[in-house]
Amino acid sequence: MSIRIRLIALATAAVCALSLSACGSGEDASGASPTCPGGKVRFGVEPYEDPARLKPAYQVLAGALQEKLGCPVELSVVGDYSAEVLAMRNGRLDLAQFGPLGYVFASTKANAEPLVSFATASGELTTYTAGIWVPKDSPVRSLDGLRGRSLALSSVGSTSGDALPRYALKTAGIAEGDVRIDYAGGHPEALLALTNGKVDAAEINSQQLATARAEGSFDESKFRQVWKSEEIPNDPITVRGDLDPAFKDAVRGALLELGPRDVAKVGAFLDVDPPGPLVAVTKETYRPLFDLAAALGLTEGDI
């Protein structure tokens, strides 16, 4: 080898040592890699509980995911369901946890693909139920008794706090105009509207019920459940479909490797006790929610 060729080879090696991104590390000049798009992973969460309480719980999960991926994870609790769908559609989120119905529209409007959801310690996918409650001394004994009365629902677009109760009224032959519906702004707010005597009835899903029980903020002996939905599969964590398949595989693997401690604080909000590792889910897992949206004639504008 000539001296000139040796010098070129040494110079090339020096450049590679200083800039791995240019010499086969899998990263581009900006520091991004197939498993770390844009140099970080942006993870959004829907505001199904007070954001001030949600964020610390999700920071534990995000921190564990960051460690598994070796890539910074930027967490944000978005304003509402529609804002989360819009953020993913516009490329501002890489990962997002949606409520089951929110995922239905995110799948079509933002190309969201489900990766994992929350499981029991025995590895079974967890579920929850929607419910309608009234004071124990209320004359209301069934959905039919809600005619002419006020009903607090959570927020527009919520699976258990909006769509399912309205679908139950519809299938019971009750026109929505026959019930005074009040959107309280969230599951905790709907429960408070009932306990404070502001409404005749309120939706309280099983997750909110578990939280209120743990806090001692709801005395069940003073109330009665008059309707309960079928089981709903728990929220999926989704990935934006147009991202690199290598990233999708990496983040799915990392999420599935998280331990119960990594997801326990989030699981507490979702009535997952005791929690197990996350489990894989697919679009078919949420097929009943697609059917529900079709039955109600829901569109993106409804969330």
Residue 13 has pLDDT above 50, yes or no: no
What range does the domain containing 245 cover?
37-126+233-302
Q: Position 251: which residue type?
A: V
135 with 194, same domain: the answer is: yes
191 with 282, same domain: the answer is: no
Orientation angle between helical segments 81-89 and 100-109, nearest 10 degrees: 30
Report the distance separating Cα 51 and Cα 210, nearest Å: 18
Residue 22 in domain: no
Residue 67 in domain: yes
* 75-97 residue pLDDT tens: 999 988 888 999 999 999 999 99
224 with 137, same domain: the answer is: yes
H or E element in which residue 121 lies? none
110 with 246, same domain: the answer is: yes
Torsion 138-143-145-148 (CA) sign: positive
**Could you give the dihedral angle defined by the CA atoms of residues 162, 168, 172 and 178, in that order, rounded to the nearest 10 degrees?**
-10
Q: What is the pLDDT of residue 297?
A: 84
Residue 98 in domain: yes
- Determine the 3-state secondary structure of 258 from DSSP: coil
Residue 18 in domain: no
Residue 55 in domain: yes
Higher pLDDT, 9 or 121: 121
Residue 166 in domain: yes
Residues near 292 by beta carbon (within 8 Å), at least 6 away in sequence: 101, 163, 164, 167, 298
163 with 43, same domain: the answer is: no
Report the distance separating Cα 161 and Cα 155, nearest Å: 6
Q: Look up the pTM and report it.
A: 0.78
- Determine the 3-state secondary structure of 217 from DSSP: coil
Instruction: Find out whether 55 and 23 touch, Cβ atoms under 8 Å.
Output: no
Residue 32 has pLDDT above 70, yes or no: no
Bridge partners of 280, per DSSP, are: 116
200 with 256, same domain: the answer is: no
Query: Of 189, 207, 229, at which residue does a domain stop?
Result: 229
Residue 27 in domain: no
Helices H / strands E in the chain, number of each: 10, 13
Residue 31 in domain: no
Bridge partners of 127, per DSSP, are: 233
- Determine the 3-state secondary structure of 102 from DSSP: helix
* 44-68 residue pLDDT tens: 998 888 889 999 999 999 999 999 9
Place of tokens 């590792």: 277
Residue 157 has pLDDT above 90, yes or no: no
As a whole number, mean pLDDT of residues 27-51 equals 77
Query: Of 229, 248, 281, at which residue does a domain stop?
Result: 229
Query: Of 229, 244, 261, at which residue does a domain stop?
Result: 229
112 with 82, same domain: the answer is: yes
As a whole number, mean pLDDT of residues 128-148 equals 97
Number of domains in the chain: 2
Vertex 190 angle, CA 188 and 192, to 5°: 70
239 with 208, same domain: the answer is: no
CATH (domain of 153): 3.40.190.10
Residue 213 has pLDDT above 50, yes or no: yes
Please state, for a pLDDT cut of 90, what percent of the chain lies above it. Answer: 71
